[in-house]
Structure 1
Amino acid sequence: MAMLAALHFLLPSLLLLQLTSDCEIIKPSGAHHRVQNFVIVVNSLPDKMCPATLHTERHFTAGEVVRDIVIGMSDGLTVPFALAAGLSGAAAPSSIVVTAGLAEVAAGSIAMGLGGYLAARSDADHYENERKREEDEIVQVPDTEADEVAEILANFGLEPNEYWPVVEALRKRPEAWVDFMMRFELGLEKPDPARALQSALTIAASYIIGGLIPLLPYIIISEALEALKVSIVVTLLALFIFGYVKGRFTGLRPVWSAFQTVFIGALASAAAFSIAKAISA
């Protein structure tokens, strides 16, 4: 019963660690994940577990993609907007604003995308280095690592008679043991191999889309100051919508997030316009 209580308490995580390989585990897909309740079959193979019931929950799991969109879109809306406002304050014609703006969007998207790629690669390299260290430690100092597992489980409120069977089960499964230490000792999860390229493309595309919005009025209207007025309205509206949607996805209050995003964009553009106006005066 102690073993059952311990496994039931840590069930979602232990399933991910695949403490059993005899029963098929359904892996997460899209915005859903499946949590299976298990029962222990008391027979000649007492440590084997098979699914009893299936419970499906809905969760939003595209957090990394949303983060990349937020990074790219927020900078894409703000930086070209501030640049266009600054050039307009310096009395530059619309054609100059468009040319400089498009050049900035191109350079910015490349720089932001490259930054996202390097950050994701750094996360992947860090994970692999830490995993290699954990693999070495469970071989070189297995008792110490086992004590660390026991300490982690004890922090969840389990008693020694409940968590020691789990510790012994993990010691028999080195791969699952390392997975457990990566997840619960270091707080690291294995990155998606395609994450780096996906992050780079998402950030770059979001930056381009965001950057074109404040430039569209300059493409249509030849008078720079008139284009600036339209650009202010269009961009602030886009910032408000973007901030609202960002708040919905990130758990912030949508209206507060919207006004915060608008304030930052307006402040940046006003500062750029004022500085350019003062320099050109």
Structure 2
Amino acid sequence: MTDIGYIHHEEHMRSSDLISDIVIGMSDGLTVPFALAAGLSGAVASSSLVVTAGIAEIVAGSIAMGLGGYLAGRTEADHYESERRREIAEVESVPEREKAEVREVFAGMGISPALQTAIADELAKDKVKWVDFMMKYELGLDEPDPNRATKSALTIGLSYVFGGLIPLSPYLLVSHPHEALLYSCIVTLICLFVFGYFKSQVTGQPPVSGAFKVMFIGALAASAAFGVARLFG
């Protein structure tokens, strides 16, 4: 039996930088303002106070999270450039040692010694591609997107805002905080479940158990905040 005419398609879920940033922003955006609103609901008598404090937290939290994403992106880019400069210097100053490292890479792939030498000599003719090879296969570093830091900051910050507005929305419609908290719990826990489901799918985890895990963490945080506020209030 032959495989002529049969086309094999492999399906894999790939978690991109964009998806990772959305997950970071949304997970904190859903959980932190939800816990804050729940805590305030146990201590104040007006939903407007919860909304005011919640919006202030969302603004501060989105800026802090966005700044964290920006710094992480810049650190990744700076690290890559630093390592690339070092590789360029080594290719110029100790080319034979760098060729030996190329041969070591191909030796690990099972390539014969004669072919290792031939490939290393051929690669050494183009120093740019030589450095590219060393960056990827010796150091395991891929060149980052030059706009990665800015994109990451915006994506994380906006995702945090979007996620944070969900648990606050019932407080805009219901004046009594205890009643608003009930609706907030229902809406937010559903969103946490859906978010956890898709997050687990993207990361290759069991989606249903991942969804319950994310929902449980959010509920636990809100319950702890509410209980502390009631205790000290």
What TM-score results when the alignment is normalised by the length of structure 2?
0.93
Q: Which has the higher contact order (CA 8 A, sep 6+)?
A: 2
Kindly provide the CA deviation profile for residues 37-84 of structure 1, in whole angstroms up to 9, marking residues without a partner as x.
xxxxxxxxxxxxxxxxxx997765561001100000000000000000
Instruction: State the shift of 1:194 in Å.
Output: 1.1
Residue 109 in 1 paired to residue 59 in 2?
Answer: no
Higher-strand-fraction structure: 1
Instruction: State the shift of 1:162 in Å.
Output: 2.5
Instruction: State the shift of 1:278 in Å.
Output: 0.6
Instruction: State the shift of 1:92 in Å.
Output: 3.9
Where does residue 77 of structure 1 map in the other structure?
A: 30
Residue 213 in 1 paired to residue 213 in 2?
Answer: no
Where does residue 106 of structure 2 map in the other structure?
A: 153
Where does residue 126 of structure 1 map in the other structure?
A: 79
Counterpart CA distance in 1 for 2:59 and 2:69 is 16
Identity of aligned residues (%): 58
Where does residue 211 of structure 2 map in the other structure?
A: 258
What TM-score results when the alignment is normalised by the length of structure 1?
0.78
Residue 223 in 1 paired to residue 176 in 2?
Answer: yes
Instruction: State the shift of 1:90 in Å.
Output: 1.1
Letter in 1 for 2:57: E
Where does residue 272 of structure 1 map in the other structure?
A: 225
Which of the numbers 222, 242, 247 marks the counterpart of 2:195?
242
Q: Measured at CA, do residues 243 and 61 of structure 1 come closer, stay the same or move farther in structure 2, by a change above 3 Å? A: closer
Which of the numbers 66, 89, 93 marks the counterpart of 1:140?
93
SS in 2 for 1:151: helix
Counterpart CA distance in 2 for 1:180 and 1:168 is 13
Where does residue 96 of structure 1 map in the other structure?
A: 49
Contact 2:15 2:203 in 1 (8 A): no
Residue 188 in 1 paired to residue 179 in 2?
Answer: no
Instruction: State the shift of 1:233 in Å.
Output: 0.7
Q: Measured at CA, do residues 122 and 143 of structure 1 come closer, stay the same or move farther in structure 2, by a change above 3 Å? A: same
Higher-helix-fraction structure: 2
Kindly provide the CA deviation profile for residues 156-205 of structure 1, in whole angstroms up to 9, marking residues without a partner as x.
12121222221111111101110111001111111111111110110011
Instruction: State the shift of 1:91 in Å.
Output: 3.0
Counterpart CA distance in 2 for 1:117 and 1:150 is 37
Where does residue 157 of structure 2 map in the other structure?
A: 204
Deviation beyond 3 Å, 4+ runs, structure 1 = 55-62
Kindly provide the CA deviation profile for residues 109-164 of structure 1, in whole angstroms up to 9, marking residues without a partner as x.
01101110111011000000000000000111111111111111111121212222
Over the aligned positions, Cα root-mean-square deviation in angstroms equals: 1.5
Letter in 2 for 1:114: L
Counterpart CA distance in 1 for 2:84 and 2:11 is 30
Counterpart CA distance in 2 for 1:260 and 1:156 is 40
Letter in 2 for 1:165: A
Letter in 1 for 2:130: W
Counterpart CA distance in 2 for 1:115 and 1:106 is 14
Contact 2:135 2:142 in 1 (8 A): yes
Contact 2:25 2:156 in 1 (8 A): yes
Structure 1: state its 5+ residue gaps: 1-54
Letter in 1 for 2:85: K
Counterpart CA distance in 2 for 1:256 and 1:62 is 19
